[in-house]
Amino acid sequence: MSRVPWRIWLLILMVLIGIAPLASVALAGLIAELNGCGLHEGFAQPCIVAGVDIGGLLYTMAVMGWLMLVSLFFLAGGLLGLAKEGVLLVVRKIWARQR
């Protein structure tokens, strides 16, 4: 098995940066739902979990979704780059078989 080139790792990192805001919003929604708390972008609502109010944290996590406007470019670039690398891999394999 060969080593993974650094450019593949960079593209994977770009994809992870691209989906991070979406993951933050999804996790905040899941935590709020499981604990019966309200969550919206208007203001932080109290949410008591294990005796600690995490409403402000959930609000911050939910508002981080707005970063998706910037991070979508990382996601798109990473996915396009990985698709290009996949196509190149297939072309190289086919080319090697024909020789």
Over residues 5-20, mean pLDDT: 94
Q: What is the pLDDT of residues 24-82, one digit of tens each?
A: 999 999 999 999 999 988 898 999 988 999 999 999 999 998 999 999 999 999 999 99
The conformational region for residue 50 under phi > 0 = left, psi -120 to 50 = alpha, else beta, is left
How many Å apart are CA 48 and CA 29, to the nearest integer? 15
Helix 6-34 to helix 55-63 angle (10° resolution) is 140
Measured distance CA(44)–CA(33) in Å, rounded: 15
**pLDDT at position 99:** 77
Q: What is the pLDDT of residue 18?
A: 94
